[in-house]
Chain A
Amino acid sequence: MVATEAQAIASDWGGGVHPYRVGHRKLGMWLFIMSDSLTFSALLIAYAYVRASNVWPTPFPFSPSIVFSSVMTLVLLSSSLTMVMAVSASSRGQKSAARTWILLTALLGVTFIVLHSLEWRHLYMEGLRPFAIPAEWAAKWPGATPLFGATFFGITGLHMFHVFTGCIYLLVVAGRVNKLNHEDVEISGLYWHFVDLVWMFVFPMIYLLSINMGK
Chain B
Amino acid sequence: MAKNGLDEALEDKMSAHTSDDDAHFAGSNRLFISVWVWLLALTGFEVFLGYKQVPVVYMLVILMGVSLIKAALIIAYFMHLRFERLNLVLTIIPALVICICLMLLVFFPDSFRAKDLRSTGPPPAAAPAESR
Contact = CB atoms under 8 A, between A and B. Distances in A.
Interface of A: 2-3, 5-7, 9-10, 12, 16-23, 25, 27, 30, 34, 37-38, 41-42, 45-46, 48-49, 52-55, 66, 70, 73-74, 77-78, 80-81, 83-85, 87-88, 90-93, 142-143, 181-183, 186, 189-190, 193-194, 196-197, 200-201, 203-205, 207-209, 211, 213
Interface in B57-76: 59-60, 63-64, 66-67, 70-71, 74-75
Contacts of B107: 45-46, 48-49
Nearest to B111: A52
Contact of A143 (B25, B75, B91, B119): B119
Nearest to B113: A53
Contact of A17 (B17, B51, B104): B17
Contacts of B13: 10, 16-17
Contact of A34 (B43, B96, B115): B96
5 contacts: A21-B87, A41-B99, A53-B118, A88-B25, A211-B50
Contacts of A42: 103
Contact of B6 (A6, A27, A48, A92): A6
Nearest to A138: B122
A196 to B, nearest CB: 6
Contact of B95 (A20, A34, A48, A49): A34
B130 interface: no
A138 to B, nearest CB: 9
A195 B124 CA distance: 45
Q: Which of B51, B63, B95, B111 has the most CB of A within 10 A?
A: B111
Interface of A, helix, strand, loop or mixed by DSSP: helix
B13 to A, nearest CB: 4
Q: Across the A-B interface, give the 9 residue pairs with the lowest CB-CB distance, nearest first.
A: A53-B114, A91-B25, A6-B9, A52-B111, A208-B50, A182-B23, A204-B63, A2-B5, A6-B6
B91 to A, nearest CB: 7
A204 B19 CA distance: 40
B14 to A, nearest CB: 6
Interface in B94-132: 95-96, 99-100, 103-104, 107-108, 110-112, 114-115, 117-122
A38 B47 contact: no
Contact of A194 (B29, B79, B114): B79
B120 A55 contact: yes
Contacts of A12: 87
B60 A209 contact: yes
B9 A209 contact: no
Contact of A2 (B4, B10, B71): B4
Contacts of B63: 204-205, 208-209
A22 B111 contact: no
B18 A23 contact: yes
A7 B60 CA distance: 51
A9 B121 contact: no
Q: Which of A22, A54, A201 has the most CB of B within 10 A?
A: A22
A53 B111 contact: yes
B114 A80 contact: no
A127 B87 CA distance: 51
